[in-house]
Structure 1
Amino acid sequence: MDTLAELRAGRLAGATRLDLSCGLTEFPREIFDLADSLETLNLSGNALDALPDDLGRLHKLRELFCSDNRFTKLPESIGQCSKLDIVGFKANSIANVPAAALPASLRWLILTDNQIEELPDTLGHCTRLQKLMLAGNRLSRLPDPMAALQRLELLRISANRFESLPDWLLSLPRLSWLAAAGNPFDTQAEDAAITAQSVPHVAWQDLALGKKLGEGASGVIHQATLKSSQQDVAVKLFKGAVTSDGWPHSEMAACIAAGAHPTLIAAQSRIDGHPDGTEGLVMALVPPSFRTLAGPPSLASCTRDVYADDAQWTADVALRIARDIASAMQHLHARGILHGDLYAHNILWSAQGGGRLGDFGAGWMTGSLDASQTAALQRLEMRAFGCLLEELLARCSNAPPTAVSALKDRCMHADIASRPSFDEALRILQREAAP
């Protein structure tokens, strides 16, 4: 029996989570029978365009997901759910976000890939907000009351219509992961960066694709062989649609502009002649001894990566990983590139080989910004590095140097101007690392 039939038969009494993806055009009223237990409601992948006016009857609801539906307006009844922690309405046709639709309890709001031109000032009342996903809309400004979002750590405003960034954005004390590529102020910088740092082109016919190595929102990565040289490489084929980070074209631009660096997984060449017109990049194949440092954030952890329960390393290994990533970030900042997603889940590591930074899905350029804005944005990424240091040091099997713990604290300082640059961080890590 399917889930909807079980719900209607009363067999789901006491359920804390309900997932329904079965072509719904109306909200099943039987969901209210779970009002005293339901905490997570996932109605993604249906044909809904409205929620009931009395949604607040679900008084224990903490997580609501309605992505890939037909909403044109964020339902105001959402605001009645006073315990809502996470709301996700990705890939609808939402153009209207009423003030009443935003409960003050929100910690994570996902409105990616809609048609939103304006956000209400009351978004600034959601002071618990840590994660805000707005890529792929029609926004040209953010409400000034959002300056009150002192807990905001991750913001995605890529693929919108911003001519500039609001000044208050660059002083938020906890903002660490910011993506803003594919806006008018950034697109010229993208084009200039690609022109300045061109890469060779490889014909699709010269590639023999092997097994799939991984898949993300923006594309699929395969192991491959260059037929002409018999060289083993990695190939990323882009999907083309807007992602939670922005446009795949922006990712390609950042990856190409990054150039070569020993601790960076960057582009070696660009693919021409794919039979479906798919864009793609050829990258170095990282040895199989390297593995991903951590998993991405969970619904519970929100902005922080999830490590394996047994994740542990010596202080020397932790310092080598930190040094390698600091070196990669120093290189990117020197080239006017912001990574936007400096996380352990985008780092490959091995005990002997150190760390390698990849995934430019949230990468963007600072070429059109003035020096003070660029410096502030680079200091935002220092807080992301501070989070990484904190996670690495917490899992050391022996005590790390006190100077590195002090560096971590400086990287996470609430006053952005007090944070070090990657130049300084790298000098400290090189000094403290084992010979």
Structure 2
Amino acid sequence: MDRTETLAALRRGDLAGMGELRLPDGLSEFPREIFGLADTLEVLDLGRGSLTDLPDDLGRLSRLRVLFCSGNPFERLPPVLGACPTLSQLGFRGCGIREVPADALPRDLRWLTLTDNRIETLPDALGARPRLQKLMLSGNRIARLPEGLAGADNLELIRLSCNRLDALPPWLARLPRLAWISYAGNPAEPATEPTVSTSVPWSALEVGDLLGEGASGRVHRAVWHAPSSMQAVALKLFKGAMTSDGLPEREMEACLAAGTHPALTGALGRLADHPDGAQGLLLRLLPAQWRVLAGPPSLASCSRDVYDPALRLSLDKALRIARAVAEAVAHLHGRGLIHGDVYAHNTLWDAETGAAVLSDFGAASALPRGAVGAALARVEVRAVGILLGEVLDCCDAAPDALRALATACLQPDPAQRPDIEDVIAEIGRAAE
């Protein structure tokens, strides 16, 4: 049933007992028939339309956990959301929101997406939501994070790119569970030298099949007809819009600045002269049998990847994957970058050998020098530790030393976590 048919079925009363409802774009008012599902509805997507508010009795949806209202022109986050007893995930992306009242934050808030709005300030009450795990704030006008957020002990992922932050508060890198962070495109991000790169004209490319698609762009197989050679490559064409991680321009800059490493996909050049003005990067083409290690987080898992339950790894392959990711992260830190999105869904691997590479620089940011940069690097050590623990969970047996290493990377006090080089060394010892 497509979304248009869903709306018609709702109005006929055919959807009794429905737990998930995704309505078509173009709504101008909240369909009151939704309240007929009050006892069962858990996920509601209102589509992109012209809604400016939500009904005062929205709390009647007593089982509602997830609400998507992205693309509707809300001036403020509706305060009625705070009255919804089970609401834990909110998606209000690209709405033009200027105000986030404390009353609009549900008690059980776990995942809040406010990407691409006009927000300048956030309430301290945000840090008083003990389940808050994932916070998406890229593309706003935020100049200062609320001090109350320093108490968000369960926060694991935060996206701050393309705001107006002059500095990152010291407490941010000390949050005990924070593992994934992006802040590119803020005054707080150190300036980086422009990277010299090969310019590849569109006319030199023979573009083939679509290999994959993400928030920031599409990746195609392509053949690059260079002046003296011909090379099979991957071509990433960027969509040009703000993503939850930030702007595609910053992703390209970071990918080029990362240079080459065996455990990175690696940029070969920047696209020039696309007929529609699209931006793009040429990347190393991996063999056809390589696949992503896991799927991205789901509504239920929130900030954790979703693995195929049937995936089993030998210890040798698990160690090859973990070591490759750790070495890629160490290389990036050495180049003054934080990846920001070290996940299995950004890890491509060969099931035959266990060889792996880290991909996707959409959340990458430049590391400050000194103690601030070192603290942010230890945030990313936690992400490496999470991935290490996940691949060990896919093994029939794992040495106690490796379990201890994964646990050490997850220390609540970031200062107590091992350096990334120590992580690599310990994995290497286990592989001997």
TM-score, length-scaled by structure 1: 0.96
2:382 counterpart residue number: 383
Residue segments in structure 2 that go unaligned for 5+ positions in a row: none
2:419 counterpart residue number: 421
1:210 counterpart residue number: 208
Q: How does 1:128-207 map to 2 (within 5 A)?
A: 128-186=131-189, 189-190=191-192, 192=193, 195=194, 197-207=195-205
Question: Is the alpha carbon distance of 1:22 and 1:348 closer, same or farther for their aligned partners in structure 2, counting shifts above 3 Å?
Answer: closer
Match of 1:39 among 38, 42, 56: 42
Q: Deviations over 1:386-407 (max 9, x none)?
A: 110110000113x223221111
Q: Residues of 2 paired with 1:5 and 1:290: CA distance?
A: 43
Identity %: 53
2:22 counterpart residue number: 19
Alignment: residue pair count: 426
379-388 or 350-359: bigger deviation: 350-359
The answer to whether residue 355 in structure 2 is matched with residue 354 in structure 1 is yes
Q: Residues of 2 paired with 1:44 and 1:38: CA distance?
A: 16
Give the Å deviation of 1:253.
1.0
1:327 counterpart residue number: 327
Q: Residues of 1 paired with 2:25 and 2:68: CA distance?
A: 14
Contact 2:27/2:47 (<8 A) preserved: no
1:224 counterpart residue number: 222
Give the Å deviation of 1:246.
0.3
Amino acid paired to 2:380: E
Give the Å deviation of 1:21.
1.4
Give the Å deviation of 1:46.
2.0
Give the Å deviation of 1:353.
4.9
Q: Residues of 1 paired with 2:269 and 2:409: CA distance?
A: 34
Q: Deviations over 1:35-94 (max 9, x none)?
A: 122111110222211101111111111111111111111111111102111111111111
Give the Å deviation of 1:22.
4.1
2:245 counterpart residue number: 245
Amino acid paired to 1:16: G
Give the Å deviation of 1:95.
0.7
Amino acid paired to 2:338: L
Contact 2:317/2:354 (<8 A) preserved: no
Q: Secondary structure at the match of 1:393?
A: helix
Q: Residues of 1 paired with 2:415 and 2:25: CA distance?
A: 51
Give the Å deviation of 1:277.
1.6
Q: Residues of 2 paired with 1:409 and 1:56: CA distance?
A: 40
2:59 counterpart residue number: 56
Give the Å deviation of 1:2.
2.1
Contact 2:62/2:86 (<8 A) preserved: yes
2:372 counterpart residue number: 373
Amino acid paired to 2:235: V
Q: Residues of 2 paired with 1:12 and 1:349: CA distance?
A: 42
Give the Å deviation of 1:324.
1.0
1:277 counterpart residue number: 277
Q: Deviations over 1:154-203 (max 9, x none)?
A: 000111111110111111000000011111222x524x2xx2x4221111
Q: Residues of 1 paired with 2:25 and 2:372: CA distance?
A: 47
Q: Residues of 2 paired with 1:355 and 1:401: CA distance?
A: 21
Q: How does 1:392-431 map to 2 (within 5 A)?
A: 392-397=391-396, 399-431=397-429
Q: Residues of 2 paired with 1:4 and 1:400: CA distance?
A: 51
Amino acid paired to 2:384: F
Contact 2:26/2:47 (<8 A) preserved: no
Runs of 4+ in 1 over 4 A off after TM superposition: none
Q: Residues of 2 paired with 1:352 and 1:104: CA distance?
A: 47
Residue segments in structure 1 that go unaligned for 5+ positions in a row: none
Q: Residues of 1 paired with 2:13 and 2:279: CA distance?
A: 49
Amino acid paired to 2:271: I
TM-score, length-scaled by structure 2: 0.96
Amino acid paired to 1:152: L
Q: Residues of 2 paired with 1:10 and 1:284: CA distance?
A: 53
2:83 counterpart residue number: 80
The answer to whether residue 300 in structure 2 is matched with residue 297 in structure 1 is no
Q: Residues of 1 paired with 2:398 and 2:354: CA distance?
A: 19
131-140 or 352-361: bigger deviation: 352-361
Question: Is the alpha carbon distance of 1:353 and 1:3 closer, same or farther for their aligned partners in structure 2, counting shifts above 3 Å?
Answer: closer
Superposition RMSD in Å:
1.2
Amino acid paired to 1:106: L
Give the Å deviation of 1:260.
0.6
Q: Residues of 2 paired with 1:51 and 1:419: CA distance?
A: 45
Amino acid paired to 1:412: L
Q: Residues of 1 paired with 2:305 and 2:164: CA distance?
A: 30
